[in-house]
Amino acid sequence: MSTRRQSLERNSNEFVYLARWDQIPIIDDLDKSNFDYFEQACSKKIAFMQEFLKVAALDARHFEAYVKTILKLQSRICAPSSLGFWFWQSNISKFGAGAAYPEEQISIFCKRPRQIDFANVFGVMEYDSVMVRHPTADWTKNNAKKLADYLEWDLAVDGIMTKIRFRIVSDLLFLDLKLIE
């Protein structure tokens, strides 16, 4: 619904919730005409959120409140001021398409990383690359390390052992995951 309420005065930053990960570094330079895939992007986002919430329902203690919170953050209104996580497979032939979500990339927005169970995302679509957009500040090495350590820990709790390397580019944090077998 947020997508269908288009108006010509919107700036490109409002499209962050539908953007592909490779558009994010240049989002401020894009204009509305660069987002010609509204319906397709919206359908993919809805499909991902349905699968993600099915998995989350298995272990969410306050599921209804969680759904309301997390869905609100996926809108064009809230996403630009939220942490944005883009997940993708750098080598799709290594993983194959995700079992529940047959796409090569997905995104989800939150206020705090603890709002996302990264193993649940992995259960919907296996990923080995993550880009995180900070809405208000540049990443520091310390904050990036904390997030990388948290992601590694969260995946390990569910038996997904990884080693994570990161690099910072202004307000973007790139995380490369190496699965440990």
- The pLDDT value given to residue 47: 87
Pairwise pLDDT comparison (6 vs 179), residue with the higher score: 179
- The pLDDT value given to residue 128: 94
- The pLDDT value given to residue 168: 96
Task: Give the torsion sign (CA, 21, 23, 26, 28).
Answer: negative
Angle separating helix axes 63-72 and 38-56, nearest 10 degrees: 160
Whether residue 110 is predicted with pLDDT greater than 60 in this model: the reply is yes
Give 87-98 pLDDT, tens digit per residue.
998 876 665 554
Of the candidate ranges 11-20, 29-38, 102-111, 122-131, the one whose mean pLDDT is the lowest? 29-38
Give 52-86 pLDDT, tens digit per residue.
999 888 877 788 899 999 999 998 888 889 999 99
- The pLDDT value given to residue 8: 41
- Cα 127 from chain centre: 11
Distance CA 98, CA 32 (A): 30
- The pLDDT value given to residue 99: 46
Calculate what percentage of the chain has a pLDDT beyond 70.
72
Residue 109's beta-bridge partner residues?
A: 84
- The pLDDT value given to residue 105: 85
- The pLDDT value given to residue 90: 82
Secondary structure class of 133 (helix, strand, coil): strand
Secondary structure class of 115 (helix, strand, coil): helix
Question: What amino acid occupies position 17?
Answer: Y
- The pLDDT value given to residue 162: 96
